[in-house]
Amino acid sequence: MLTDNEIKIIKASTPALAEYGEQITGRFYQILLAKNPELKNIFNMTNQKSGNQKQALAMAVYAFSKYVDNLSVILGDVERIAQKHASLGIKAEHYPLVGSALLEAIEEILNPGEEVIAAWASGYGILANVFIEREKALYEENAQKAGGWSDTRDFIIVKMHQETPLITSFYLQPSDQGVVSEYTAGQYISIYLQPEGQAYQQIRQYSLSGAFDKKGYRISVKKELNDQGEGLVSNYLHSQFKVGDTVKVTPPCGEFVLQKTDNPVVLISGGVGITPMQAMLETLTQQTESREVHFIHGAQDRQHHAFKNELDLLVEKQKVDAHCFYQQVDTLSSGEYQGLIDIQKIHNLLPAGAEYYICGPVVMMKAIYQQLKDLKVSDEQIHYEVFGPNKSLA
């Protein structure tokens, strides 16, 4: 437990963290990775270059200082981060390394004096313990489930299917031919590999893109065409892997999952953000007790719309109401629109009291979030997944 004085001191740091948070977390990573270069096998070095990870961590540290007297506010974030950590194999012994680098960075940038550093050391200890306990429980749960395992397990690529010019699905089955643990639609797995020419192992998360089928998992990976270093692992999977090859996979993790209610569901995605939505769509439409499902997707054009044939079949069977927004169109059919996703165009067709699930590029998700807020949809009804470090939409 933190003392009242420690809480007061940590809270008083909030304005400084708002101003210098990213500078502190940027310096933190320099210290952490210089002192512990082996951690480069765990951290996504592309996110380091882009600065996304330092922003996500700065937001987390800021939120901790702001809500240190009412940590229940950040429990949702703690769960999301713990799930991500569990997928990355973060262990209790890593926490002191991160703690000492963080305190060193705070001291160097803010030079706030001994008392403040001591309060932050206590605060960090409390937060670290919350993560350590939750992650330990997740490791145990994942290992004890039927078909579960800990750390990584070898999976063979048994099939590859090109969904669009950029997205290819990889069907994975365990090389030990055992059963695989069930997941909830919306969850992801991590793939561990070391691309040729890279000094360190790379870990990336991929959403499971289909309903659980007991035999294995499917991920659908987008090739990146930019030269900013993005897509290092995705492009390597596309260019170097073929049927019969083996990849190292962690158990399914993630808290962006279908809520267990009877409420109508609206699934909204852009581009490759369709992957967790496809898992939710397949899961919902296979269930016997029918739940009202609306599917909204934005893509460059029909050719780049992954799983379009599957969607058309479900529409034909009246299992789902679908609305597609294409930036480029030839001819439009019903339920298809030109331009970016515009909820206003279809909001009359959407049921009241629905749960909204969103995944896609952050700019798109921010726009959708705003459109939903304009329609008076509450935050409790909105669930979203950010691919990459989460800097929050709201």
| Site for ligand HEM, rule CB under 6 A | 39, 42-44, 47, 53, 56-57, 60, 81, 84-85, 88, 90, 94-95, 98, 127-128, 131, 389-390
Helix orientation angle between 4-12 and 114-144, rounded to the nearest 10 degrees: 100
Do residues 324 and 337 touch, judged by C-beta distance below 8 A? yes
Q: Least separation, in Å, of the C-beta of 68 and ligand HEM?
A: 13
Residue 133 appears among annotated catalytic residues = no
Distance in angstroms (rounded) separating the CA atoms of residues 281 and 274: 10
Residues with Cβ within 8 Å of 323's Cβ and at least 6 positions away in sequence, in order, are: 294, 295, 296, 297, 335, 336, 337, 345, 346, 349
Helix orientation angle between 52-66 and 114-144, rounded to the nearest 10 degrees: 110
* Closer of 117 and 179 to ligand HEM (Cβ): 117
Q: Least separation, in Å, of the C-beta of 134 and ligand HEM?
A: 11
* Closer of 42 and 315 to ligand HEM (Cβ): 42
* Closer of 60 and 306 to ligand HEM (Cβ): 60
Do residues 124 and 131 touch, judged by C-beta distance below 8 A? no
* Closer of 94 and 294 to ligand HEM (Cβ): 94
Helix or strand run (H / E) with residue 148: none
Distances (CA, A) of 50 to 53, 224, 374: 8, 15, 32
Distance in angstroms (rounded) separating the CA atoms of residues 126 and 273: 35
Helix or strand run (H / E) with residue 299: strand 293-299
Q: Least separation, in Å, of the C-beta of 252 and ligand HEM?
A: 15
* Closer of 94 and 134 to ligand HEM (Cβ): 94
Q: Least separation, in Å, of the C-beta of 71 and ligand HEM?
A: 12
By DSSP bridging, strand 202-207 and strand 382-385 are unpaired
* Closer of 131 and 217 to ligand HEM (Cβ): 131
Q: How far apart are the first and last CA of the chain?
A: 30
Helix or strand run (H / E) with residue 85: helix 75-88
Among 135, 163, 355, 385, the active-site one is 135
User: Which residue is listed with tokens 């963290």?
Assistant: 17
Three-class secondary structure of residue 213 per DSSP: coil
Distance in angstroms (rounded) separating the CA atoms of residues 112 and 311: 57
Q: Least separation, in Å, of the C-beta of 327 and ligand HEM?
A: 28
Residue 181 has what DSSP assignment? -
* Closer of 52 and 283 to ligand HEM (Cβ): 52
Q: Least separation, in Å, of the C-beta of 110 and ligand HEM?
A: 18
Instruction: Give the residue among 296, 256, 252 at the shortest CA–CA distance from 274.
Output: 296
Among 20, 95, 192, 326, the active-site one is 95
- What tokens were used for 30? 């320099």
Amino acid letter, residue 200: Y
Q: Least separation, in Å, of the C-beta of 131 and ligand HEM?
A: 5
Residue 95 appears among annotated catalytic residues = yes
By Cβ distance, which residue is nearest to ligand HEM?
Answer: 390
Question: Which sequence positions are flagged as catalytic?
Answer: 95, 135
